[in-house]
Every structure is written in C-alpha cells, then in structure tokens.
C-alpha cells in the first residue's frame, strides 16, 4: 500500500473524511498525539486499526466526537460526573470512560461495557468529524510498543505501507496522550495521567479522584489493570533507560562514576554541556508542559541513536509531570535509582 502524506488543509480533511465514510483508516493530528482513525460504528473499519498497529485485541480504543449531541447512541447515559467534566475540559485532552451505547462497534471496546469518549480540540480532528459525520475511534498512531508519534514524520516511520493517508498538522501541542478518567465506578478514578491534572479533575468534580494503581508503579502480579493499556510494556525504546532520582549534582556524579559504560543522558534543557556525554534534552526542569511536549520525540531520537545505556533525569510526579513520569517510567521498564 502507498502511504500518502498530505497537509491537514481543506483538501486533506476531505480525503480523510472520505476514507472514514468508506470504512477505511488514516492517521491525523490531535492536540495530544497523532492518531489512527476509523468510524467507531463500523467494526470492520475498527479492525483495520488493530491490524495497522499490531495492537492486542483486548486493549480498547477511545471514541472521538466533535460536539455533545454526538454522545447519543455512543453512551448508554452520560453520568452526572461526566456532565461536570465535559463542559470544564472539552474540547481538550480528556477522555471520560462512560457506559457504552449501542452504536459503538464491539471491536472498539474489547468486550467491555464501557467506552472512552473524548472531544479533541485540534481543528483538523474536529473538521474530519464534521465533514464525515463519523465519530472516530483512534489510538495513538504508533506501532504497538513504540512511543506515540507527535509529528507526521514519526507516524510515517511506523506506518509506511500500513495506511493509505497521513494528514500532517505539524508537531502536537500537548505531546502526551489524553488524561483518562472513569466515572462508571462508585468513585471517579484517574486511569491515565495527562495534560488535564488530577487536581483539575478534583476541582471540577468537587470530590477526590482516586489514582489507579498502575500509574506510578508497576502492576503487582495478579493485579488487574483498570485501563487495559496500562498492563502493556509501552514506549519501549531500544536503549536501556534508568531514571536517576535526585539533584543535578548527584545525577552528574552518578554519570561520571559510570563513564566506562559509555552512557548517554536524557536530561533537562541546558544540562548537556556540564554532563559531557551524548545527551538528549527533553524539556526544562520543573516544566511539565515543556517535558510532555518533547518526551516522545526524544525517546524516538534515542532509538535513532541505537541501543546502549541511558540515564534519565527524573521529572516531578505531580501536576502535568505525573503524565511525564508515567510515560518515562514505562520506557525505563520501571528501573528507578534513588540517589
Ligand atoms: O490522546 C489520546 O487519547 C490519543 C489521541 C489519538 O486521541 N489516543 C490514545 O489512544 O492515546 P490509545 O488507544 O493509545 O490509548 C487509550 C487508552 C488505553 O490505555 C486504553 O486501555 C484506555 O485508554 N481505554 C480505552 N477505553 C477504555 C475503557 N472502556 N475502559 C478503560 N480504559 C480504556
Ligand atoms: Mg497508545
């Protein structure tokens, strides 16, 4: 299959919308990461997403809408908590897990009776939904197991020959996937951290939001992942990444002590020179937004350099940084050294 890369302009939007209507798939930008879209009501179309990504069938997809009227049929009901969250954060990088409605293809939800819904703010994503009349299911547009793509070039690197079309809308703003919150249980629960923070969710809901177990630590043996995606070893780079938790001085001392291993560093902006080894800087220290925006590109840059030992500076674990830590600790296969 030829993969065409087309600017996400009016012509590109029309091409994408036509593919959706025909039951085909294509990649497009959202404000978080690039996604692979298919009509969420069409099971055969949704199957093509799993095939393109090599994704396990038991990992459900998020359904994307352009306005609230599209919820009807996609959810059985919009719980009260969803009605507080939607006006506060939509359109934007929040996915709300709700009871699944009859229109959602079973293939989207991996047999669950719930569905994740999100209203993206990216104009190209909205325009495609409006032009096609299709709510689309879309996972991140990477091959299963590699970092989510935040540029059209990164999508192409994974998806060449596997998709007919990639819409290029430039680099994504947020850089990590949407926050996923469930409102189907007794208490609201954060299943995946993202740009919308735990604190913001709690403020909008006026109550505590529980943190799913798998966010900051590895699932224990036998523990069930509430968000099926959390159980997979995501974002696995070729390099052996270890997160070093401590000050810059401690980090530098550790790197110096292990120079014989020829390590590289995933560091904060401005630290490259002082470290004196090959470095990829993933953002400013203490700036979760900046780190989130660049992390996946940096993980891919490390892959392009080949394998080897990588020491990573540790982001904070609250606010937007919780999302950065959550992705990085998976890329590091949960190897964290406290300095
Ligand atoms: O920002 C995003 O959400 C991007 C863009 C393309 O919109 N999409 C994305 O999709 O990250 P994906 O498939 O890579 O991640 C979806 C996550 C997975 O961890 C999945 O297990 C979880 O959401 N999920 C989806 N439906 C669920 C459900 N019904 N219950 C629990 N978790 C669910
Ligand atoms: Mg993904």
Ligand (nearest to CA of 227):
1
Residue 95 has pLDDT above 90, yes or no: yes
**Which residues are near ligand 1 (CB < 6 Å)?**
30, 32-33, 35, 59-62, 93, 95, 97, 109, 112, 114-116, 118, 138-140, 177-178, 180, 191-192, 227-230
Mean pLDDT within 192-203: 98
Q: Report yes or no on 112 lying in a domain.
A: yes
Specify whether the CB–CB gap between 63 and 90 falls below 8 A. no
Express as a percent the part of the chain with pLDDT over 70: 95
User: Which residue among 177, 198, 215 closes a domain?
Assistant: 215
Q: Report yes or no on 231 lying in a domain.
A: no
Q: Does residue 182 sit in the same domain as residue 264? A: no
Which pLDDT tens digit goes with each residue over 230-246? 555 556 678 899 999 99
Which pLDDT tens digit goes with each residue over 5-48? 999 999 999 999 999 999 999 999 999 999 999 999 999 999 99
Q: Does residue 260 sit in the same domain as residue 186? A: no
Q: CATH no. for residue 319?
A: 3.40.50.11030
Q: Does residue 85 sit in the same domain as residue 175? A: yes
Specify whether the CB–CB gap between 182 and 100 falls below 8 A. no
Mutate to test the pocket of ligand 1, among 227, 295, 327 (most ligand atoms within 8 A of CB): 227
Q: Does residue 169 sit in the same domain as residue 252? A: no
Ligand (nearest to CA of 61):
1
pLDDT for residue 284: 98
pLDDT for residue 217: 82
Q: CATH no. for residue 135?
A: 3.90.870.10
Q: Which of 197, 64, 70 is nearest to 139 (CA)?
A: 64
Q: Report yes or no on 224 lying in a domain.
A: no
Ligand (nearest to CA of 96):
1
Mean pLDDT within 306-332: 94
Q: Which value, to the nearest 10 degrees, does the dihedral of the CA atoms of residues 82, 107, 171, 192 take?
A: 50
Mean pLDDT within 204-211: 98
Closest atom of ligand 1 relative to the 228 alpha carbon: 21
Which pLDDT tens digit goes with each residue over 135-151? 999 999 999 888 999 99
pLDDT for residue 234: 59
Q: Does residue 284 sit in the same domain as residue 205? A: no
Q: Does residue 154 sit in the same domain as residue 32? A: yes
Write down the mean pLDDT value for the chain.
Answer: 94
Closest atom of ligand 1 relative to the 112 alpha carbon: 29
> Domain count of the chain?
2
Q: Report yes or no on 99 lying in a domain.
A: yes
For residue 145 the two structure tokens come to 């197991």
Mutate to test the pocket of ligand 1, among 32, 49, 62 (most ligand atoms within 8 A of CB): 62
Residue 229 has pLDDT above 80, yes or no: no
- What is the residue range of 130's domain? 4-215
The residues, ordered by sequence, that sit 6+ positions from 40 with a Cβ below 8 Å of its Cβ are 46, 61, 63, 64, 74, 103, 104, 105, 108, 134, 135, 136, 137
Half-sphere exposure of 137 (CA within 13 A, CB side): 30
Residue 224 has pLDDT above 80, yes or no: no
Q: Does residue 34 sit in the same domain as residue 164? A: yes
Which pLDDT tens digit goes with each residue over 98-139? 999 999 999 999 889 999 999 999 999 999 999 999 999 999
Query: How much of the chain is in helix, strand and coil states, percent to nearest 5?
Result: 35, 20, 45
Which pLDDT tens digit goes with each residue over 289-307? 999 999 999 999 998 887 7
């Amino acid at each position: 299959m030829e993969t065409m890369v087309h600017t996400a302009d009016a012509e590109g939007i029309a091409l994408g919308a036509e593919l959706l209507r025909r039951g085909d798939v294509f990649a497009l930008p959202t404000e978080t990461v690039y996604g692979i879209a298919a009509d969420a009501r069409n099971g055969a179309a949704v199957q093509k997403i799993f095939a393109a990504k090599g994704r396990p069938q038991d990992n459900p997809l998020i359904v994307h809408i352009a306005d609230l009227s599209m919820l009807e049929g996609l959810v059985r009901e919009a719980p009260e908590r969803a009605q507080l969250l939607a006006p506060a954060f939509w359109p934007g990088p929040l996915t709300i897990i709700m009871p699944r409605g009859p229109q959602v293809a079973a293939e989207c939800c991996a047999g669950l009776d719930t569905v994740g819904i999100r209203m993206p703010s990216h104009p190209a994503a909205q325009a495609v939904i409006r032009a096609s009349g299709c709510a689309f299911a879309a996972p991140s547009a990477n091959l299963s197991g590699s970092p989510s793509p935040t540029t059209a070039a990164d999508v192409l690197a994974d998806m060449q020959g596997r998709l007919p079309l990639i819409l290029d809308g430039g680099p994504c703003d947020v850089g990590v996937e949407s926050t996923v919150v469930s409102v189907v249980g007794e208490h609201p629960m954060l299943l995946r951290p993202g740009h919308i923070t735990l604190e913001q969710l709690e403020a909008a809901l006026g109550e505590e939001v529980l943190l799913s177990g798998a966010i900051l630590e590895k699932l224990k043996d036998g523990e069930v992942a509430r968000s099926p995606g959390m159980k997979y070893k995501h974002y696995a780079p070729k390099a052996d990444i270890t997160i070093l938790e401590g000050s810059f001085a401690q980090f530098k001392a550790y790197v110096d002590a292990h120079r014989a291993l020829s390590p590289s560093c995933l560091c904060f902006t401005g630290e490259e020179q002082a470290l004196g080894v090959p470095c990829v800087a993933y953002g400013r220290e203490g700036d979760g937004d900046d780190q989130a925006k660049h992390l996946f590109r940096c993980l891919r840059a490390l892959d392009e350099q080949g394998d080897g030992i990588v020491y990573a500076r540790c982001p904070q674990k609250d606010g937007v940084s919780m999302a950065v830590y959550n992705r990085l600790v998976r890329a590091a296969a949960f190897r964290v050294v406290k300095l």
